[in-house]
Structure 1
Amino acid sequence: MRQSCPTRVPPAIPMPFQNIDRTDCFIVQEERHTEQEIMQAAALWNAHGPDLFLRRGSIEILETQLGALLPAGTKALAEDALNLVRRYQRLSGTAEIRFRLEKVRHDSCRRFHVDHVPLRLLCTYTGPGVQWKYADSETIYETPAGWITLLKGQLYPGWSTKGAVLHRSPPISDRPVPVTRLLLTLDHPDACGMGRQ
């Protein structure tokens, strides 16, 4: 028997990613208690890595390009991100993936929205995670750092507004202590203008 979709249960209960193919399921979250080695690597990336690493390609290409610029001590972060790429590829069936690893120090996207993609995978390594809510509700959930969030976008086959889940970046500019979010986003290769180069 198949497990129910997590969109109508508390977000603390992780569900397998394959539930995303259900017509009534718009979000799947997986709880993770990220290893200390990965968290230390994320902190080092924040200190020494580029503000934005944005590429499209196969897993092999992404691994080569990411490996070419890894700051010292960040290998565990790269390995974790590439493992998520492999999981995303199995779900999406795409040969190439748009890979975005970004330091976010501002309110990057404050409005709740649905992405113009088939599927989007998000993982915030440092700082607060993605916020989300049902389209017909005002209750806002904030995802803990390290958790994996898989969201259906408007281009997912059979997507409809009924039961849809909206999301946004958490506002961070008004926090008393400056915050740097390290956010991994995985998408279809043509997402957000990433046309073939």
Structure 2
Amino acid sequence: MNFQVANKNEDLLIKNHVSNNSSELSEIFNEDVNIAIWKRHLNNQLINASNYIINENPDLQFSELVKYNDVDKILFNNLGQNENTLYLVKDISRVVKLFCDLFSINKVWLRLDAIESPMCPRFHVDNLKCRLVSTYKGPATQWLPHNLVNRDKLGHGNNGMPDEESGLFLKETDIKELNTGDVALLKGDGWKNNQGKGLVHRSPHKVGDYKRLYMTIDFIDLYLRIFKNHKNES
């Protein structure tokens, strides 16, 4: 197979940054980083809270624009305020504040979903600046290192073939996967001067029990752009 990856030599320098320290998520601002990962393990209180939310709300689809100092109140209104939800709501609130502080903003598009099948089963790149993702329960996001991707095989370039057969990557071990609890910033093609370098990722593939509790945090301009497009189509 003729496998070609990055087109320019400098593209080969694009890498990931992994740390046990949340402050190092700021590495996403480096031009040569397209994913910054804060490795962390969920404590029993967060695990129990996540299980409770999924059991009580198996069809949960929370999606709202929120200010960081209103997160607790809004989530309690949607999830209920009790000992079972307290730890999860407080943790989400901290992560939202972290995102806001990092990008000097005070409002985000927050989503929290209970998922039973892959939302985005194919590898792809998002046309946005940056997205924060974290999985509180179940398998977490899969991604491919930049230097191991043949981007010509994304989208229609796969010619109708599965990702594993299209030539998008060479071997299964090329696929990396976040752990449950990890917090990651995924840089997209919409980041300034990052066209063609956005992180290639997908929903996790797993046989058997797929129950996930998945959080995403986006800039509000993405929400407004999507809403505007839907309005124009209607």
TM-score over 0.5 (shorter chain): yes
- 1:190 is aligned to 221
Q: Secondary structure at the match of 2:15?
A: helix
C-alpha deviation, 1:144, in angstroms: 0.8
Q: Secondary structure at the match of 1:54?
A: strand
Equivalent residue in structure 1 for 2:68, among 56, 59, 62: 59
For residues 131 and 14 of structure 1, the distance between their equivalents in structure 2, rounded to whole angstroms, comes to 19
C-alpha deviation, 1:178, in angstroms: 2.1
Matched, 1:181 2:212: yes
Shift in CA distance, 109/45, structure 1 to aligned 2, threshold 3 Å: same
Matched, 1:100 2:108: no
- 1:152 is aligned to 187
Listed as ranges, the matches of 1:12-27 within 5 Å are: 13-14=19-20, 16-27=24-35
Range that drifts further, 31-40 or 107-116: 107-116
For residues 38 and 84 of structure 1, the distance between their equivalents in structure 2, rounded to whole angstroms, comes to 14
For residues 125 and 62 of structure 1, the distance between their equivalents in structure 2, rounded to whole angstroms, comes to 17
Please, what is the CA RMSD of the aligned residues?
Answer: 2.1
Equivalent residue in structure 2 for 1:29, among 25, 30, 37: 37
Q: Are the counterparts in 2 of residues 6 and 28 from structure 1 also a CA contact under 8 Å? A: no
C-alpha deviation, 1:77, in angstroms: 0.5
C-alpha deviation, 1:160, in angstroms: 3.1
For residues 91 and 128 of structure 1, the distance between their equivalents in structure 2, rounded to whole angstroms, comes to 26
Listed as ranges, the matches of 1:97-176 within 5 Å are: 97-137=108-148, 138=169, 139-162=174-197, 164-172=198-206, 175=207
- 1:69 is aligned to 78
Q: Secondary structure at the match of 1:74?
A: helix
Equivalent residue in structure 2 for 1:44, among 52, 68, 73: 52
C-alpha deviation, 1:62, in angstroms: 3.0
Instruction: Note the residue ranges of structure 1 that are not aligned, 5 or more in a row.
Output: none
C-alpha deviation, 1:191, in angstroms: 2.1
Q: Secondary structure at the match of 1:64?
A: helix
Q: Are the counterparts in 2 of residues 59 and 96 from structure 1 also a CA contact under 8 Å? A: yes
Q: How many residues align?
A: 185
